[in-house]
Every structure is written in C-alpha cells, then in structure tokens.
Amino acid sequence: LSRQDTILALMAAGTKRILVVDDDAAVRMVLQLAFERTEYALDAAEDGESALALARETCPDLMLLDIGMPGIDGLEVCRRLKADAATSGIKIVLLTARVQERDREIGLAAGADGYLTKPFSPKAVIAYVDEALAGS
C-alpha cells in the first residue's frame, strides 16, 4: 500500500493521526512506544524541513512539535503551517525543553494550540492529546 492509501484507510477508519517532530531519536522513541498502545497512528519527522513536507502531504490531526531543532525551528514550522489555509487546521502542540513563561508566550503567539514541557510523563501527554482531539 502506498502512503496515500494508508492515510485514506486510516481516515476511513476514523483513526486520528499524529505527527511527532523532534531531532532527538530517544524522544521520538518514547512517544512512539507510548502511542503504540493507543488508537492513534503515529508518524515522525526529525527536522523542520521534513516536518513541513510531511505535514503538507499527510495533513495529520495533531502535531507534537519540538522547538529547538537545527534548520527551521519548531516556531517557524508552526507559523508556516498556521499561515497556510491547507494546513492551518492541524492542531499543533509544542513539546519543548523551553519551560519559561516567556517561551510559552512566544510559542502561543506563533499560533500553537498547546504547550507542553520536557521532561514529560508519556501518560500525561496521551491524556493531553485525548483532550485536545476530543472535540474534533
């Protein structure tokens, strides 16, 4: 099956798709393992460039987006996706080691729908995602 077909199949089944973007493989692994036992389908990208490409191609329901990445950073990814009508519907949750109140304000100003800080409890992240996607 092609990727496009997979997406269509998932959408037909009502499965919510999540895109994880983090340059740290260990963090991606934690999230992949955590979401394995949920009904969400997870995809991952390791930098801003591929995150943008993947988001435009697959149009996930929610993104867990790191901020501090080489190249295009998470804030810029967030701004670009929110500026584009085709991708502005994607819920973006920033998941970052930047914990200061000022960083949270900057993140929300960039258009993010949520802000979570590292280190995180995988269970708490799943609960947060559940809540964020409950309405849609």
- Site residues (vs another protein, CB under 8 A): 24, 26-27, 29-31, 33-34, 97-102, 117-123
Closer by beta carbon to another protein, 14 or else 119: 119
Q: Which is nearer to another protein, 11 or 30 (CB)?
A: 30
List the structure tokens of 61.
């329901």
Q: How far is the CB of 7 from another protein (least distance, A)?
A: 26
**Ordered strands of the 114-117 beta sheet:** 41-45, 17-21, 62-65, 91-96, 114-117
3 state DSSP class of 59: coil
Q: Nearest approach, Cβ of 30 to another protein (angstroms)?
A: 3
Q: How far is the CB of 24 from another protein (least distance, A)?
A: 6
CB of 66 to another protein, least distance (A): 9
Contacts of 43 (CB under 8 A, 6+ apart): 17, 18, 19, 20, 54, 58, 60
**Distance of alpha carbon 127 from alpha carbon 26, whole angstroms:** 21
Nearer to another protein, 11 or 106 (CB): 106
